[in-house]
Structure 1
């Protein structure tokens, strides 16, 4: 009876996918990754090279949740992301995926910026062997690049001599000369930059605008991401994903891991 129970449990459990069997997808970014059944692990099984975690500073701990009401004490940033990533990188000889370079851990600060960031910096400092580290403006590339979004304490971050996370810029920063060592990523709300939401052809002026944004960001060494694009399966999402892919936008944002994996693998 016990053997039958175990067999049934294993049949229902999510299948574990070997890192060597997964094709890493450079443009795949898991928005609100922690809301999946297996945070981080589901994204890795689908070949994603970027994940997003929202954090709250609660009684000195960095807890992962989208809403304050959903906070659970055991869901720490270390337990859900940093420790599993460290094990993964160690097992794969210094990489998240054996056949690919680069992985982005986007960390959205939900509580007050400076105290939350200081707590984050202390935690990240325990993982210098897997993280990209910036010392006096010089980048020491790691298997994982942490980037801070949300309530970002820009001035404090700029004052640091040693930094374990980069700064997530916004569209007004496009005209700045912020070094990529400080701001490796520029993100913004698609609907605040473009009017087209995937219906019909993309207006030629907006396509040119997107291409210009990509060219400018890449020329300054930044990667690029948009959020708030359509994420329900259908022609609108497909149309926008095609434009993002064609324009070489670095990270395509989604909650639908299987959907984007299928799209990028075509």
Structure 2
């Protein structure tokens, strides 16, 4: 059997050799040339695609680098701006810069429109104990975006500029430290710190970071021994994952809680916040108060039922000397957003929670 197969194979090879001998040499040359051309085209296409990818990546990286450099340069320039130049001729308005770290110029954008309240999301990790990160999403945290550079250092500098008169022995100068706003030096700035990480560890880190403010009397505080609240240039409100017992245990308290407004109809819950200045402010989402994430009346704004419900919560808070802020209200359509803002202002919210700072300024 193997002999037969070998003989057949030999016959096939002979036929192939005969056929190759019949092919003209020029045809063989052209065939090889064609193969070489196809191979060259494939290499050229691969090269072009590679060059395009590398060029696009380089341009994108350059654009991002230039954008970041531009922002850093602008922030560096603003850090040298005098407090009077930043807030002069600015009327203070009761708006809250929600997720302030998302803005092109965190803190500065809010101050330039006169916002009396700003909010930053903060994270602390044992692996980097010297840094308090700022960001809404843990995935995108970076050491470049930290509490010192974005908020504490600029605030400390701006407030310090407004207290230079303390160097002079003038008995007419008030012992209270001046605030940050040029037109009203006694207006406090509410700094909301939304804790996203371990509550007690983050609070301990915040106390350490804010010690220069405490030592220079730049923070509002409550003295439990004298039952006295003293307002300073900055009032720190802790929201999010706050450690209630840790904060309340301090005899001199420099941090105050953003109380859960939606729990105020429960007397036991309300009793946790309505004494000893534990909570200067309260907040809740529209959904938490009304079980609806949107304005039920559509473009007309809040429904009558929603208005009545929200009003009842506001009354409870105000009767206990606690301020009110309501978040997660409709942002679109713009007409609905504006109607809801008008209704909340009419209802008596103390601070309007906003994402669009410049649009909100037209309501005051």
Task: Answer yes or no: same fold by TM over 0.5.
Answer: yes
By how many angstroms is 1:112 displaced?
1.1
Contact between 1:121 and 1:163, CA under 8 Å: does it hold in 2?
no
- Choose between structure 1 and 2 for higher RCO, CA contacts under 8 A separated by at least 6 residues: 1
Query: Which residue is equivalent to 1:37?
Result: 104
Q: How many residues align?
A: 253
By how many angstroms is 1:224 displaced?
0.7
Selected match of 1:172 from 263, 268, 273: 263
- The equivalences for 1:29-178 within 5 A come to 29-58=96-125, 59-60=128-129, 61-93=131-163, 94-100=178-184, 101-128=187-214, 129-136=217-224, 137-170=227-260, 171-173=262-264, 175=267, 176-177=270-271, 178=273
Give a deviation string over 1:58-111, Cα, whole Å, max 9, x none: 311211111112212132212211221122223334112133312210000010
Contact between 1:43 and 1:257, CA under 8 Å: does it hold in 2?
yes
By how many angstroms is 1:13 displaced?
6.2
Give a deviation string over 1:23-44, Cα, whole Å, max 9, x none: 110x211000011111100111
- The equivalences for 1:189-200 within 5 A come to 189-194=285-290, 195=292, 197=295, 199=298, 200=300
Q: How has the CA–CA distance of structure 1 residues 153 and 13 changed in structure 2, closer, same or farther, with 3 Å as cutoff?
A: closer
Which deviates more, 28-37 or 138-147? 138-147
Q: How has the CA–CA distance of structure 1 residues 13 and 166 changed in structure 2, closer, same or farther, with 3 Å as cutoff?
A: closer
Q: Could you tell me how far apart the structure 2 residues matched to 1:210 and 1:103 are?
A: 26
In the alignment, structure 2 segments of 5+ residues that lack a partner are: 1-69, 164-177
Query: Which residue is equivalent to 1:6?
Result: none
Question: What TM-score, normalized to structure 2?
Answer: 0.65
Higher strand share: 1
Contact between 1:152 and 1:167, CA under 8 Å: does it hold in 2?
yes
Q: Could you tell me how far apart the structure 1 residues matched to 2:135 and 2:301 are?
A: 37
**Highest Rg: 1 or 2?**
2
Q: Could you tell me how far apart the structure 2 residues matched to 1:202 and 1:54 are?
A: 29
SS of residue in 2 equivalent to 1:127? helix
Q: Could you tell me how far apart the structure 1 residues matched to 2:347 and 2:213 are?
A: 34
Contact between 2:289 and 2:310, CA under 8 Å: does it hold in 1?
no
Higher helix share: 2
Which deviates more, 16-25 or 235-244? 16-25
Contact between 2:199 and 2:242, CA under 8 Å: does it hold in 1?
yes
Q: How has the CA–CA distance of structure 1 residues 44 and 201 changed in structure 2, closer, same or farther, with 3 Å as cutoff?
A: closer
Contact between 1:231 and 1:256, CA under 8 Å: does it hold in 2?
no
Give a deviation string over 1:180-203, Cα, whole Å, max 9, x none: 611111111111212351623533
Q: How has the CA–CA distance of structure 1 residues 173 and 82 changed in structure 2, closer, same or farther, with 3 Å as cutoff?
A: farther
